[in-house]
Amino acid sequence: MPMGHTVAFPLLRTTDLDAIFSLANRILALSVPDPRGGTEIWAEVSSRAELRRLLEAVPEAEVGEGYKEDAATSGDSPLPFGPGLLFMELPDPERALNAARAALGVHDRLEVYWDAFCWPEVPDLGLEWTWKYARLQVSLHHNGTDFGSPWTEDHTLFVHVGKEERAVWVAAQVGAEIIGEYTIC
């Protein structure tokens, strides 16, 4: 496994938004909170109008100053540097489901990330606590870990870890299992 990269294992694929966020919350309940991270919604945007719709749908999200300036520019012109990733930081993880639901009302593909936690120690497996590889991801309307995968009806939850043993342990703790091949991110 390459140093500095996470390995993402899929644990659930479903069209049920409530079910996928319920599993994410059960996984987060296993973890230790860490103030160094956050909860974000990512979207690919190509125009100012698209950007404005997302920011209006999720008004509590914080975004970079450049995106605020682009959203304040009237019209539907393309973004000045071409299509890009919009990172909308949420004030707390509990708002992720409602924010994602609102954003899906105006955008067809999103990713939700949680990385404000540490994976706990699991002495039986020789796993120490770590924040370095601790991340959850829900890909909404696609099954990959990035936007390169095609649109689908369903959503996929990925657990990001440094070692496969951790992913197996996390899945077992919440009554899930690994459902596909891992991706190095």
Same domain, 120 and 177: yes
Residues 179, 142 within the same domain: yes
Give the residue numbers spanning the domain of 164. 1-36+116-184
Q: What angle do CA 115, 55, 45 make, to 5 degrees?
A: 80
Per-residue pLDDT band for 181 (boundaries 50, 70, 90) equals: very high
* In a shared domain, residues 85 and 127: no
Q: Please tell me the total count of domains within the chain.
A: 2
The reply to whether 15 falls in a domain is: yes
Task: Return mean pLDDT, the chain.
Answer: 93
Question: Among residues 38, 24, 163, which one has the least CA distance to residue 88?
Answer: 38
**Would 41 be classed as within a structural domain?**
no
Task: Specify if 81 maps to a domain.
Answer: yes
Alpha-carbon distance 100 to 114, whole Å? 13
Which one of 60, 89, 109 terminates a domain?
109
Q: Average the pLDDT over 165-170 and give the result.
A: 98
Q: Which residues contact 97 (CB under 8 A, 6 or more apart)?
A: 17, 18, 21
Residue 6: inside a domain, yes or no?
yes
Same domain, 105 and 120: no
Tell me the per-residue pLDDT of 2-27, one tens digit each, with 9 for 90 and over. Answer: 457 899 999 999 999 999 999 999 99
Of 89, 109, 129, which one is at a domain's C-terminal end? 109
**24 and 65 together in one domain:** no
How far lies 184's CA from each of 10, 51, 85, in Å?
A: 12, 29, 20
pLDDT computed for residue 79 by the predictor: 84
- Of 85, 109, 133, which residue constitutes the final position of a domain? 109
Across the range 36-63, mean pLDDT stands at 93
Strand stretches in 97-175, DSSP E: 110-114, 117-118, 135-140, 155-161
Statement to judge: residues 121 and 179 lie in one domain: yes
Same domain, 81 and 65: yes
| Predicted pLDDT at 1 | 43
* pLDDT tens per residue across span 73-108: 888 888 887 788 999 999 888 899 999 999 999 999
Q: What pLDDT, on a 0 to 100 scale, did the predictor assign at position 35?
A: 77
Does one domain contain both 100 and 128? no
What mean pLDDT is predicted for residues 148-165?
96
